[in-house]
Amino acid sequence: MNRPRTAGPADPAAGRRVGWVAVSAFVLLAALTLWVTRASGHLLPADASLHSWSVAHRPAPAAAAARTVTDTGTGVVPYAALFLVGMYAGRTARQRCALAAALMVCLGAGQALRYAAMSVVARRRPPVGDWAAHASGWSFPSGHTTTAAMTAALAIAALSLGSRGAPRFAVCLIGLWGAAVGVSRVYLGVHWFTDVLAGWLLAVGWVCLGVWAYLRRAPAVGREEA
């Protein structure tokens, strides 16, 4: 039977490229983690300078806007977004439910991995007096950043590999949102920049690892369903 053309599953090279991106992201994350843990005060040069700039350039309206953005990077919003993406990207009712569940499970597992890394590194946050939003727990990697970046990457992957696709502007907006949540954490003074950078690297590595596993399995699935 004729099947809609999807991006990636029929291209073994795509799987290799995604796999190398995952490896590169995890290697960079390991190097950054080692650098942070060995640095004086667990701070890198960019951390202090970007934190000072944020505190000095944070009028009330801008801080309120940043809090609105940052609040979307935690809680039910990321899971609801992935559920909707799964419902859109799947071709049949069964595929839609399975995809939505897989996306949410992948996010939950990634959050657990982030929490484990945070507990091991045990990096302190910036001074409480500089905060313009509520925060708790250790700092590295940033939880809001990791969650938002994973959500954005999973959504983009699902839309790109699904049978229905998505407008390019929608993919760009999703990516910008994922990045904006991380930037808001630095601007609000609750995270160092390298906390956010670590969250981005972890998200890229984790999602690319999942996509690599999917692309390795997808051709066999396609043959079974053809």
Residue 51 domain-assigned (yes or no): no
Decide if pLDDT at 8 tops 70.
no
Within a domain: residue 81? yes
For the domain that residue 17 is a member of, what is the CATH number? 1.20.144
The answer to whether residue 28 sits within a structural domain is yes
Position with higher pLDDT, 150 vs 165: 150
State pLDDT tens for residues 34-59.
999 998 777 888 899 999 999 999 99
- Report yes or no on 168 lying in a domain: yes
Q: Determine which of 2-6, 10-14, 53-57, 183-187 has the lowest per-residue pLDDT on average.
A: 2-6
How many domains would you assign to the chain? 1
74-83 contacts, C-beta under 8 A, 24 or more apart = 74/143, 74/144, 74/147, 78/107, 78/147, 78/148, 78/150, 78/151, 79/104, 79/107, 81/151, 81/155, 82/107, 82/151, 82/154, 82/155, 82/158
Average pLDDT, integer, range 105-130 = 95
Tell whether 61 is covered by a domain.
Answer: no
- Give a yes or no: residue 157 inside a domain: yes
Average pLDDT of the residues in 6-34: 82
**Is 53 a domain residue?**
no
CA-based nearest residue to 139, from 203, 202, 185, 105: 185
Q: Which of 186, 192, 157, 150 is nearest to 171 (CA)?
A: 157
Residue 204 domain boundaries: 13-39+66-217
Whole-model pTM? 0.88
Q: How far apart are CA 132 and CA 80, in angstroms?
A: 26
pLDDT at 9 over 60: no
- As a whole number, mean pLDDT of residues 117-138 equals 93
pLDDT band at 163 (very low <50, low <70, confident <90, very high): low
Cβ contact 44:36 at 8 Å: yes
pLDDT at 225: 44
* Residue-level pLDDT at 5: 42
| Mean pLDDT along residues 56-74 | 95
What pLDDT is stored for residue 39 in this prediction? 84
Within a domain: 1: no
- pLDDT-derived band at 75 (thresholds 50, 70, 90) equals very high
Confidence band of 167 (pLDDT split at 50, 70, 90): confident
